Amino acid sequence: MADPMKLRASMHVDRVEVKILMAHPEESGFRKGPDGSTVPAHFISNVTVQHAGREVLRAQWGPAISKNPFLQFAFRGAARGDELTVTWIDNLGETRTDRVTVA
């Protein structure tokens, strides 16, 4: 399984600011290796964030995302102590799910 994500969710008056750092190689499938052969594509294709059973973010990515992608967004409707669930799936079917508590 992939390395854990670094997650932070903090309250700012009436909204929660979420920061996510995902450890992933993000190979586009276009780069050449040292021997001249093409390095196979390996990238995160879907990211979802859920709060209290409600999806607050859904992203579909392609091969143009950089290695170890960083994602930041904000949403309303959560409180301190609530839990968020972050899940990614890559183009090879690997998946990672981590949770963070709103501070």
Q: Where are the domains of the chain?
A: 6-29+38-101
Q: What is the pTM of this model?
A: 0.92
CB atoms inside a 10 Å sphere around CB 70: 11
> pLDDT exceeding 70 applies to what percent of the chain?
98
**pLDDT attached to residue 1:** 58
Residues in the chain: 103
Class of 6-29+38-101 per CATH? mainly beta
For 11-53, what is each residue's pLDDT tens digit? 999 999 999 999 999 999 999 999 999 999 999 999 999 999 9
Q: What is the mean pLDDT of residues 2-17?
A: 94
- CA 1 to chain centroid, in Å, comes to 15
Strands (E), the chain: 6-12, 15-21, 44-51, 54-60, 70-76, 83-90, 95-101
Burial (Cβ within 10 Å: 0-12, 13-18, ≥19) of residue 90: buried
